[in-house]
């Protein structure tokens, strides 16, 4: 005879009848999940793809080169797809699925914030490697004309946009603390828009340098540092805009978040403030610093 008793986990959900003690699919942060693994594999392929494209580009656009560019593009888009799919699945099963059935565990909230802080520390190490390379090449004299005109109106506008977005996301967070959902959604929507416009400005700057001035990755050591740092920061801004958009959709369409359920807002805000801080340092060190010291 089959035992018809129903066993339940700590969250009240029934366990699988075929495999007692194991949930049918992981849905909370306390359970094992394959989504982070998928995202990690995607990020790895994405970086390998970018590196392959850059190497092929530097060796003659794949012509008479042992490293063609097309595998890099394949790896990049496959990695991007895996990363986005894993990220969305991870966020959905960890934070969206059966959202209102879970309690407001203070310990779990502190764990998520602490984990985000540790993640940001690793991001500091990542950017530090890029800035170390930049300061190393700055210690050597540069030939005349190696640096284009960096301090353009686009840089000023982009800086204002990011600083403003940091302010709007802060006040959106405060509005939710006060249970003012209307003001929260408006300010969060403004933050997403400001981040998107920043990315458009970054692409326009790249267009000016690469297409109009012919200043590419192969234009020298400073070019590699400039595109490496600004490109890395641009990827982080893109991720930030995606995360803010997810939070906005959850708050607007799913009517989630309240003064006691706002961990996602806190963690995404931490990430966005970090990205803004990196941009201010990047502008000071690369844009202003290189312009002042240029021959």
pLDDT tens, position by position, 83-113 = 888 877 877 776 666 555 555 556 656 766 7
Average pLDDT over residues 244-251: 88
Rounded distance between C-alpha atoms, residue 268 and residue 9, angstroms = 29
Supply the pLDDT for residue 273.
94
Find tokens 């089959």 and name the residue: 2
Dihedrals phi, psi of 14, to nearest 5 degrees = -70, 145
Residue 192 and residue 269 in contact, taking contact as beta carbons nearer than 8 Å: no
Residue 215 and residue 148 in contact, taking contact as beta carbons nearer than 8 Å: yes
Rounded distance between C-alpha atoms, residue 291 and residue 234, angstroms = 21
Supply the pLDDT for residue 105.
56
Domain boundaries, the chain: 106-293
For residues 242 and 144, the model is more confident at: 242
pLDDT tens, position by position, 14-49 = 443 443 433 434 444 455 678 788 888 888 888 888
Supply the pLDDT for residue 237.
94
The Cα angle at residue 86 between residues 250 and 271, in degrees rounded to 5: 60
When pLDDT is cut at 50, 70 and 90, the band that residue 142 belongs to is: low
Mean pLDDT of the chain: 78
CATH number of 106-293: 1.20.120.80
Handedness of CA 220, 226, 229, 230 (dihedral sign): negative
């Amino acid at each position: 005879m089959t035992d018809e008793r129903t066993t339940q986990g700590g969250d009240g959900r029934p366990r699988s009848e075929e495999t007692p003690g194991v949930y049918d699919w992981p849905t909370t942060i306390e359970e094992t999940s394959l989504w982070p693994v998928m995202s990690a594999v995607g990020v790895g392929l994405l970086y390998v793809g970018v590196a392959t494209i850059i190497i092929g580009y530097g060796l003659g656009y794949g012509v008479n080169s042992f490293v063609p560019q097309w595998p890099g593009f394949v790896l990049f888009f496959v990695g991007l797809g895996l990363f986005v799919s894993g990220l969305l699945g991870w966020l959905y099963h960890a934070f969206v699925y059966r959202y209102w059935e879970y309690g407001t565990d203070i310990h779990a909230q502190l764990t998520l914030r602490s984990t985000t802080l540790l993640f940001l520390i690793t991001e500091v190490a990542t950017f530090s490697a890029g800035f170390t390379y930049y300061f190393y090449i700055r210690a050597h004299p540069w030939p005349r004309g190696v640096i284009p005109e960096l301090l353009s109106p686009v840089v000023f506008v982009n800086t204002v946009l990011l600083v403003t977005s940091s302010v709007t996301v802060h006040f959106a967070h405060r509005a939710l603390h006060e249970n003012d959902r209307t003001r929260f959604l408006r300010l969060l929507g403004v933050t997403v828009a400001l981040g998107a416009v920043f990315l458009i400005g970054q692409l326009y700057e790249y267009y000016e340098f690469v297409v109009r001035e012919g200043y590419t990755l192969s234009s020298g050591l400073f070019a590699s540092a400039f595109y490496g740092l600004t490109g890395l920061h641009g990827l982080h801004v893109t991720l930030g805009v995606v995360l803010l958009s997810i939070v906005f959709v959850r708050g607007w369409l799913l009517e989630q978040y309240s003064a006691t359920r706002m961990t996602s807002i806190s963690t995404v805000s931490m990430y966005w403030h970090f990205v803004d801080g990196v941009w201010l340092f990047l502008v000071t060190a690369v844009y202003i610093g290189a312009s002042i010291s240029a021959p």
